[in-house]
């Protein structure tokens, strides 16, 4: 974690700050432990900041894309569509056309209907569509916090339906894609998931140029959580990938690469006592960091790791950390132990680099969006300024 105190005078709160060195360290750990035929893809939806995408361009082998907006943002950042894996349960005709016309490396078909639509559009365009079959595997791996497989879902072919594939002319099946779940901190469970995917690939039997094994690497967001042993998972992947030397194996990661590099800084506006509790009210909130607020699918409220940057030495106290929105949902932490904050103090929420800016309802209540800064080689750069609602007109 970076000590942002020496940069505070340069930052406007609320803001996100990203530490480039942390991203590089994670990339290096993965690259050092993966064989050549494993290609590391970055999932743009975790954080689509243009400056970050540009910085990542020479560091990753491709991108996981979920919409035409992300597609355009990635092209703007200088990526070639040949390195894209485009997946999503509700791709529009326009998105499929965009992917086919630009020679998108892999377009995931998520059902028989989806495959038929891709085939029809490719025929109409007279071009080849490079398709991966996204499969919802029958085996459920329990340790994923967020599951996309092993149950009825909108994602991917049910494994049982793979037998009935139609004859195709313009859609060329190049690969298999399984993204069964995410936010897994258990290396053994991730390993089991990988082994299941390679078993499935064998069962399919057809020659596969590409196997996209998803990712699901989790982040130790909450106090008391242990980090994932990513090296162990990479070693397990290495073992499997070595049995497929001619195949491009894709590992697609979002949060693992970027969440720990990003921190969310907000400033205390008011301290309010109410019926024995201390409410610390900040100038940010769930409209800017929905993940920390736990409104992105968390069932039991757990606190992110939060520091008082301005007064790290003050006496510890228990507080309710809330944002400035007019809803009780806007709660960043409950019963949080923190060095006693005072109005004006800057608080720092760790592990906020992914699904903070991109997943939050930024326009809710019309506050300016948070600024974003990158710390690289000791220099801090504003990489997206905060915008006010009127500027979106």
Ligand X SMILES: *Cc1c(COP(=O)(O)O)cnc(C)c1O
Is residue 184 part of the contact set for ligand X (CB under 6 A)? no
Closest CB to ligand X among residues 42, 373: 42
The yes or no reply on residue 369 touching ligand X (CB under 6 A) is: no
Q: Output 26 or 367, the one with its CB closest to ligand X.
A: 26
**How is residue 27 annotated by DSSP?**
H
Contacts of 233 (CB under 8 A, 6+ apart): 187, 190, 191, 194, 217
Pick out residues in 1-60 that bind ligand X (CB under 6 A).
Answer: 43, 45-46
Interaction between residue 221 and ligand X (CB under 6 A): no
Distance CA 35, CA 239 (A): 9
Least distance in angstroms from the C-beta of 97 to ligand X:
21
Pick the catalytic residue: 15, 104, 234, 326?
326
326 is catalytic: yes
Q: How far apart are CA 313 and CA 197, in angstroms?
A: 49
Q: Please identify which residue in 130, 179, 198, 373 interacts with ligand X, judged by CB under 6 A.
A: 179
- Which residue minimizes CB distance to ligand X? 254
Q: What x-and-dash track marks residues 326-355 binding ligand X by CB under 6 A? A: ----------------------------x-
255 binds ligand X (CB under 6 A): yes
Residue 20: CB atoms within 10 Å: 17
Residues with Cβ < 8 Å from 367, sequence gap 6 or more?
287, 288, 324
Count other C-beta atoms under 10 Å from residue 113's C-beta.
9
| Closest-CA residue to 288 (of 254, 263, 261) | 263
- Choose among 191, 240, 235, 238: nearest CA to 217: 191
d(CA 259, CA 353): 4
Closer residue to ligand X in complex, CB, 281/354: 354
DSSP tag of 46: G
Does the footprint of ligand X cover residue 215 (CB under 6 A)? yes
- Which of 79, 86, 198, 256 binds ligand X (CB under 6 A)? It is 256
Q: Which of residues 49-108 bind ligand X (CB under 6 A)?
A: 64, 66, 87
For binding to ligand X (CB under 6 A), which residues are involved? 43, 45-46, 64, 66, 87, 179, 182-183, 214-215, 252-256, 354
Active site residues: 326
């Amino acid at each position: 974690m970076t000590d942002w105190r020496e940069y505070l005078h340069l930052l406007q709160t609320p803001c996100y700050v990203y530490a480039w060195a942390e991203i590089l360290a994670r990339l290096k750990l993965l690259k050092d432990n993966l064989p050549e035929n494993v290609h590391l893809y970055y999932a743009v939806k975790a954080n689509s900041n243009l400056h970050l995408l540009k910085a990542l361009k020479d560091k990753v082998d491709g991108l996981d894309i979920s919409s035409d907006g992300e597609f355009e943002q990635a092209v703007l950042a200088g990526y070639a569509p040949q390195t894209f894996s485009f997946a999503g349960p509700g791709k529009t005709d326009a998105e499929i056309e965009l992917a086919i016309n630009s020679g998108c490396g892999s377009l995931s078909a998520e059902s028989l209907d989806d495959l038929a639509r891709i085939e029809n559009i490719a025929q109409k365009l007279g071009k080849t569509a490079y398709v991966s079959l996204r499969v919802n595997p029958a085996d459920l791996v329990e340790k994923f916090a967020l599951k996309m497989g092993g149950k009825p879902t909108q994602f991917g072919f049910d494994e049982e339906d793979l037998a009935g594939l139609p004859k195709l002319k313009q859609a060329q099946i190049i690969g298999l894609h399984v993204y069964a779940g995410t936010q897994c901190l258990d290396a053994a469970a991730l390993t089991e998931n990988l082994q299941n995917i390679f078993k499935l690939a064998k069962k399919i039997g057809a020659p596969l140029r590409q196997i996209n094994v998803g990712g699901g690497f989790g982040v130790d967001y909450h106090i008391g959580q242990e980090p994932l042993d990513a090296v162990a998972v990479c070693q397990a992947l290495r073992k499997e990938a070595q049995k497929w030397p001619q195949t491009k194996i894709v590992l697609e990661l979002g949060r693992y690469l970027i969440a720990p590099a990003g921190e969310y800084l907000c400033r205390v506006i008011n301290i309010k006592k109410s019926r024995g509790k201390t409410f610390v009210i900040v100038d940010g909130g769930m409209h800017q960091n929905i993940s920390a607020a736990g409104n992105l699918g968390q069932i039991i409220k757990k606190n992110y790791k939060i520091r008082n940057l301005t007064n790290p030495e003050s006496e510890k106290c228990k507080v309710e950390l809330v944002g400035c929105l007019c809803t009780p949902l806007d709660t960043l932490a409950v019963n949080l132990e923190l060095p006693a904050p005072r109005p004006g103090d800057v608080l720092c929420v760790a592990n906020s680099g992914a699904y903070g800016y991109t997943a939050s309802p930024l326009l809710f209540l019309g506050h300016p969006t948070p600024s974003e800064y990158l710390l690289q080689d000791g220099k801090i750069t504003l990489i997206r300024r905060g915008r006010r609602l009127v500027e979106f007109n």
